[in-house]
Amino acid sequence: MATAKDIMHPGAQWIYREETLDRAAQLMRQLDVGALPVSDQNERLCGIITDRDIVVKCVALGHDPAQVRCAELCEGTPRWVDAGADVGEVLHEMESRRIRRMPVVENKRLVGMISEADLAAHLSEQQLAEFVERICAA
């Protein structure tokens, strides 16, 4: 069976929790991604910040993204999967937590991200339909 490492998008990058949201947006643009894992000074996962977070939780509220730190938008317990986890485990974690992007860690280091697009490229139509139904269910 395929593993998280088999289906992930490699080369994900952290953004340090004390960086500003404007820097996060610039990095997202540079990397052509919509989300970045947020790390502490020891490169431990603190959360994930998305382009939507920046717009809805900062800009739309009239805040200046150059003055707001990534850490301020990180909520809840960060989730990740081991690179060796099988796809079933990945799907279960993403579905049960209604997560659309999942960091992949190997030897305590970020090695990639799994997004809905990655799943679409590697799952059967049936598996993908079930995933979308569970993620989008109210």
Tens-digit pLDDT profile for residues 104-124: 999 988 999 999 888 888 888
Per residue in 1-60, pLDDT (tens digit) is 789 999 998 988 999 999 999 999 999 999 999 999 999 998 889 999 999 999 999 999
What DSSP character marks residue 8?
A: S
d(CA 102, CA 99): 7
Q: What was the pLDDT predicted at 20?
A: 98
Query: For 121-128, what is the mean pLDDT?
Result: 84
Q: Which residue has the higher pLDDT, 126 or 112?
A: 112
Q: Residue 133: count other Cβ atoms within 10 Å of its Cβ.
A: 10
Q: What was the pLDDT predicted at 78?
A: 86
Helix ranges (DSSP H) in the chain:
4-7, 21-31, 51-57, 87-97, 116-122, 125-136
CB neighbours of 116 closer than 8 A, spacing ≥ 6? Answer: 100, 101, 131, 132, 135
pTM: 0.84
d(CA 127, CA 111): 24
Would you call 2 helix, strand, or coil by DSSP? coil
Q: What was the pLDDT predicted at 19?
A: 97
Which tokens in the block code for residue 57?
């939780």
Nearest CA among 35, 114, 43 for reference residue 73: 35
Q: What was the pLDDT predicted at 80?
A: 94
Query: For 61-90, what is the mean pLDDT?
Result: 93
What DSSP character marks residue 52?
A: H
